[in-house]
Amino acid sequence: MKKTFFRALIAVLFFNAAIAQQLKSPNSKLQMEFSLQSDGTPIYSLNYKDKAVIKPSKLGFYLKDDTKSLLNDFAVIDTKTTIFDETWKPVWGEVASIRNHYNELAVTLNQKGTDRQMIIRFRLFDDGLGFRYEFPQQKNLVYFTIKEERTQFAMAGDHTAYWIPGDYDTQEYNYTTSKLSEIKSLMEKAYTTGNVSQTSFSPTGVQTSLMMKSADGLYINLHEAALINYSCMHLNLNDKNFVFESWLTPDSHGDKGKMQTPCNTPWRTIIVSDDARAILASKMTYNLNEPSKIKETSWIKPTKYVGVWWEMISGKSSWSYTDEFPAVQLGVTDFTKAKPNGKHGATTANVKRYIDFAAKNGFDAVLVEGWNTGWEDWFGNAKDYVFDFVTPYPDFDLKGLNEYAHSKGIKLIMHHETSGSIRNYERHMDDAYKLMKQYGYDAVKSGYVGSILPLGETHYSQWTNNHYQYAIEKAADYQIMVNAHEAVRPTGIARTYPNLIGNEAARGTEYQAFGGERNHPNHVTILPFTRLIGGPMDYTPGIFQMDVTNGSHVNATIANQLALYVTMYSPLQMAADFPENYERFADAFQFIKDVAIDWDDSKYLEAEPGQYITVARKAKGTNNWFLGNVNGETPRTSNIDFGFLEKGKKYTATIYADAKEADYKTNPQAYTIRKITVSNKSKLTQLSVPGGGYAISIIEIKK
């Protein structure tokens, strides 16, 4: 009797061990548990310091034309655990080196009746959890189509969320701050019209990266990493039980993924901490991507630039050369016989003016938009052969301007707007990149404005995402850096392809000039918690003239605009305003000239999503620091401790701050500049007005 009981007990313990696995982070603050429900459904949960982050949540897939799908009837047939710890050096970044330290659990599942296998791989870091699905090569699962991915994130309460509406075609929304239970009632107001391509899907659908804060003080971020050959993941909320479920972007047939084994999904990521600063400092998204596939990277250089862009955005100039033609045909329309409209921005004379300004003030490059033929009817016509990316307008001297720029130590940045015609871009891509190499361009700003062609595809489907990746890899073959606008939001791929030096993929400065609903004053206090989790943003800061040509108004102070060069991390930073506006405020412009764009270290000093961010960064290869603070809609006083400075050193701190009377609506150009001497023992109390902030250059005093 005793022997029988003992054997039964051993069997129960072994069975439980097979279906319940626990994994702890290296510092043991995070604990993940994986198990199978009684019907063989895989579930996981996550705790942080014994607080629930993710309650038991289901995993799996609905497959097209497959009644069983990959949802249940699984048995665990193997588990493997691994400890991994390395330090790697990014080509560019917020820090000189990144530690990649995690504990891993890989669970191999076999589905009863189908003999199909699926591996779920979990990596638990000190700052969060990443997991993905892997499908080994196998005879019973070769080609399959995903109808939907069932990845759940069961939240532990009605958290405060910082969200934008789910959309297959744009991320360019202002953020809404609300309880999860309020998302449905606020969706209509949050889904502002005006974007040139929009496709919503659910009254409770939101986009990643999603930032949340729990009532008991946990900061939780949901996103994905390494989005390769897969569709972009949105989240759809059940607002009764606060369970988010993955919602993949469909292709033109309504399918959400065409798969062939062996293959895997992107990583699903949960970053969590009880300190908001730790969310901003997390490098987990990068760590879940593969190391650089570009071996020789000396040609990838952080860049500070100006450009012929804000002229068109603000209504002063046009992209098009002529108003004579209602439509143009490349190779047929003779632009040399057309009457110029007198508003064209990309003229030889105007570009030379920007080149001279860049050279005089220590910039690296000049972006020029509207240089190539086709802008007269480029948008809204579902036009396939819209641009050829090699033919300049008659008033743009392609060869001469490059020679002039190079003589001044300046490079030009190419602009490739595709108007969403992906096939056309791929058709011309090699010739376009060859032209860039011929004339010494080493960076391109690409754009995907409007509906994707072929019609029926969207901006974030698997097919379109594969195009973005193709463009990055093709550019790397030509040693060209890419700054993609209107492309899918980044997911850390810049670790693998560091020539992806910039992205837009969110509501940037341009919306300040579009009229209607402009960027909220606290917009830049949310973006680093959301959009920037996956990679840097080409936000195009530096606007000094807040009342722009077309009558719109920029919701920021000058001090706020200066701070963005530090708080909105990017190795690609634009001084977006007109040269004459910088000349009017030359003392404030000095900070933009001085601020670094590549860093050895970063210290997040203060942070609260939607309210404020203060960060100090150490310039690459120097002992100089730059500090930025951006503030939301409530006036606030910072208390800064300079303990991050090197002991025994003294520094000159030049503080660019809001004047007491500054106001982002009525008095945005009121600022003060003062100099003080600081050391690692110094402290600073500094005011930030609503929509304001401050910026500090901290330069070592050489003995």
> Annotated active-site positions, please?
510
Q: What does each C-alpha distance from 156 to 48, 215, 219, 233 come to in angstroms? A: 12, 10, 12, 21
Per-residue three-class SS string for 396-451: CCHHHHHHHHHHCCCEEEEEEECCCEHHHHHHHHHHHHHHHHHHCCCEEEEECCCC
CA–CA separation, 164 and 211 (whole Å): 10
Long-range contacts of 38-47 (CB under 8 A, 24+ apart): 39/72, 39/73, 40/72, 40/73, 40/74, 40/75, 40/111, 40/112, 41/71, 41/72, 41/74, 42/74, 42/107, 42/109, 42/120, 44/120, 44/122, 44/131, 45/154, 46/129, 46/270, 46/272
Yes or no: say if 681 and 642 are a contact pair by the CB < 8 Å rule.
Answer: yes
Q: Taking the CB of residue 162, how many other CB atoms lie within 10 A of it?
A: 23
Beta-ladder partners of 628 = 615, 695
DSSP string, 504-522: --S--GGGGSSSSS---TT
CA–CA separation, 403 and 355 (whole Å): 11
Yes or no: say if 98 and 283 are a contact pair by the CB < 8 Å rule.
Answer: yes
- Six-digit token pair at 519? 């960027």
- Indicate left, alpha or beta for 25 from its phi (over 0: left) and psi (-120 to 50: alpha): beta
Q: Determine if the peptide bond prior to 541 is cis (ω within 30°).
A: no
β-pair type (365-368, 303-308): parallel
CA–CA separation, 445 and 430 (whole Å): 16
Q: In 3D, which of 526, 562, 524 has the Cα closest to residue 543?
A: 562
CA–CA separation, 559 and 694 (whole Å): 5
Task: Quote the strand ranges of 183-335, DSSP E.
Answer: 205-207, 210-213, 219-225, 233-238, 243-248, 258-260, 263-264, 267-273, 303-308
Q: How far is CA 388 from the centre of its chain?
A: 28
- Indicate left, alpha or beta for 217 from its phi (over 0: left) and psi (-120 to 50: alpha): left
Q: Taking the CB of residue 549, how many other CB atoms lie within 10 A of it?
A: 15
- Six-digit token pair at 657? 């701050």
Q: Determine if the peptide bond prior to 262 is cis (ω within 30°).
A: yes
Which residue, chain included where needed, has tokens 């290869």?
Answer: 621
Q: How far is CA 533 from the centre of its chain?
A: 6
Q: Taking the CB of residue 131, how many other CB atoms lie within 10 A of it?
A: 25
Q: Taking the CB of residue 379, how many other CB atoms lie within 10 A of it?
A: 15
CA–CA separation, 562 and 570 (whole Å): 14
Yes or no: say if 335 and 323 are a contact pair by the CB < 8 Å rule.
Answer: no
Yes or no: say if 137 and 295 are a contact pair by the CB < 8 Å rule.
Answer: no
Half-sphere exposure of 562 (CA within 13 A, CB side): 36
